[in-house]
A and B are shown apart, each in its own frame.
Chain A
Amino acid sequence: MNFWSKLQSIDVRIIYITVFVTLAIPLLIPLGIPLTVADNSVNMYTLIEDLQPGDRVLMSLDYTALVAPEVHAGTVAICRHLFEKGVGVAMFGYIPEGPMFGDMAINQLADEYDLVYGKDVVNLGFIPGSESGVRAFGDNILESAPRCFRNQVTKDMPIMQGVRNAADFKMLIGIGDGLQVMVQQIHTVHGTPICGVSTAAGTTGLWPYVNSGQIKAMLSGLRGCAEYEMLVNKPSTAVAKMDGQSLGHLVIILFIAAGNIGHFVTKKNKSEAKQ
């Protein structure tokens, strides 16, 4: 087997270890590759910046532990922005694990922003029933979530006063994989403007909604979260991983290039040998 053939058949374990090491190095020794902020993230920031103190927003947390490393940083960064502005946040989720991440974000930021649970923020918990559940929730929020994630009665909470349905909130911020459902069952029914954070893989499928204006603005994956961390002046875990993201993409491109070069040179050599 010559060099070009070998280039096409590198052992998978070598690939795995190379990827692992390439990603680990920039986490240990940051490279400081400059990160610029894209228009999408600025649009998202502007939407939230335009909210007024005392306004209320819904935040749907529709992600599990499987994709949390990609989008949870966005939850925290957006919550920071909302709490900084004095906007009330009512969290919920139609994926069972989502509200757990909401509670983590509340616990992380509670002292920093002197949050009063039930007044500044509430976690309404999990809403069963997938798309039908979201519709039920949007139509009558208090009846769908009589008790919150911490099992307190929601109708007595200051943040829930005057709330009937999703139209009583200025905006819905969807994080994770639920944006399409939010467009279908909240925006289309109640007209509540939608924005949010999508996983990178989900971004392509949701982009027609951004193009049509059904989603006002959207951050894409960890990169989007990193950009938002920069916008709120709190560079944190997402920004710290951007060097690794860069090297990870490069190493995959190099492997694809190696496979293609090996393939074409071998093919060329074979056809020359036949002639």
Chain B
Amino acid sequence: MTLWRRDIPLLITFLTGIIYVLNNVGTISIGSTTLGELVQDLNVWVLIVAAFAMGVASVNLLRLHGEKVQRRREGWGYSLVLIATMLGYMLIGALGTTYQIPFFADLTNLVYTNVQSPLGATMWAMVGFFICSSAYRAFRARNVEGTIMLVAGILVMLGNAPIGESIWGGFPVLSKWLLDIPNTAGQRAIMIGAAIGAFTTALRTVTGIDRRYMGTIE
């Protein structure tokens, strides 16, 4: 059973990883076809498998909330709302987008524009309140590092708002300089580190050293 459970998935990862790496090296022929052509075919496979993957989280969500409703656990009414909304919108969306039935297509757009979109936007916007209160409570010039961060943050806030320029014309110039020079240096160093990290992790994964994606299924 190790073959099915461990070796085949490792082989799939190794082969696909190597094919994609070699494809970027140059034109490589395999019999009557080239690696580039093979990758073209695999690209479509990627899109299909990835589309399947998008539903996994939703099935999990349905299972969790379905069980909550079934066992009448605390808050099961909300779970029922979630399941009803989810299944209803799935049906409306499928009929409206894939099958382009005009009534459902309009309804999909209306639900998105007037329910999903404002709810999402407001939830994310609420972070604005939290940022304001946490900045007030925690953003203190307690030491040199804190002071540098505080001053840079305030200069950028003033430089990025039109009123900053009305107060003093130097604010946008300073803000732009901070973005252009110190920020670029900082982010570039992070990017260099992240690139090395990403390469190493990818290499470990393709070669089967890192197998975290296989989870703990036995």
Contacts and interface: CB of A to CB of B under 8 A. Distances in A.
Q: Do chains A and B touch in the complex (CB under 8 A)?
A: yes
Interface of A: 8, 10, 12, 15-16, 19-20, 33-36, 38-39, 64-69, 96-97, 100, 103-104, 127-130, 132-133, 135-136, 139-140, 143-144, 149-151, 200, 203-205, 207-208, 211, 220-221, 223, 242-243, 245-253, 255-256, 258-260, 263
A127 B43 CA distance: 11
Given A33-B162, A68-B121, A211-B184, A259 B140 contact: yes
Contacts of B13: none
A242 B162 contact: yes
A30 B206 CA distance: 57
B163 A246 contact: yes
A66 B123 contact: yes
A154 B87 CA distance: 30
B163 A33 contact: yes
B139 A65 contact: no
Given A12-B133, A207-B179, A207-B180, A249 B158 contact: yes
16 contacts: A8-B137, A15-B132, A15-B133, A33-B163, A34-B165, A66-B121, A68-B121, A132-B50, A136-B43, A139-B43, A140-B43, A143-B40, A204-B183, A205-B190, A211-B188, A249-B164
Contacts of A12: 133
B75 to A, nearest CB: 24
Contacts of B129: 15-16, 19-20
B117 A68 contact: yes
A19 to B, nearest CB: 5
A136 B162 contact: no
Interface SS of chain B: helix
Given A100-B109, A247-B163, 16 more contacts: A10-B136, A15-B133, A16-B129, A67-B124, A128-B50, A128-B51, A136-B47, A139-B39, A151-B99, A205-B191, A211-B184, A211-B188, A223-B160, A223-B161, A250-B163, A252-B135
A253 B158 CA distance: 9
Contacts of A251: 132
Interface residues of B, number: 59
A65 B100 contact: no
B47 A36 contact: no
Contacts of B161: 223, 242, 245-246, 248-250
Contacts of B183: 204, 207
Contact of A258 (B120, B123, B136): B136
A129 to B, nearest CB: 3
Nearest to A67: B124
A136 B46 contact: yes
Contacts of A140: 40, 43
A129 B163 contact: no
Most buried by B among A133, A143, A211, A251: A211
A7 to B, nearest CB: 10
B150 A133 contact: no
Contacts of A103: 109
Interface of B: 39-40, 43-44, 46-47, 49-51, 53-54, 97-100, 109, 112-113, 116-121, 123-125, 128-129, 131-133, 135-137, 139-141, 150, 154, 157-158, 160-166, 172, 176, 179-180, 183-184, 187-188, 190-191
Interface SS of chain A: helix
Nearest to A20: B129
A246 B162 contact: yes
Nearest to B165: A36
Most buried by A among B51, B116, B137: B137
Contacts of A207: 179-180, 183-184, 187
B166 A144 contact: no
Contacts of A139: 39-40, 43
A16 B133 contact: yes
Most buried by A among B40, B141, B160: B160
Contact of B137 (A69, A127, A204, A259): A259
Contacts of B120: 64-66
B188 A208 contact: yes
Given A38-B172, A250-B161, A65 B98 contact: no
A265 B150 CA distance: 18
B176 A38 contact: yes
Contact of B54 (A128, A136, A245, A259): A128
Given A136-B47, A208-B187, A252 B157 contact: yes
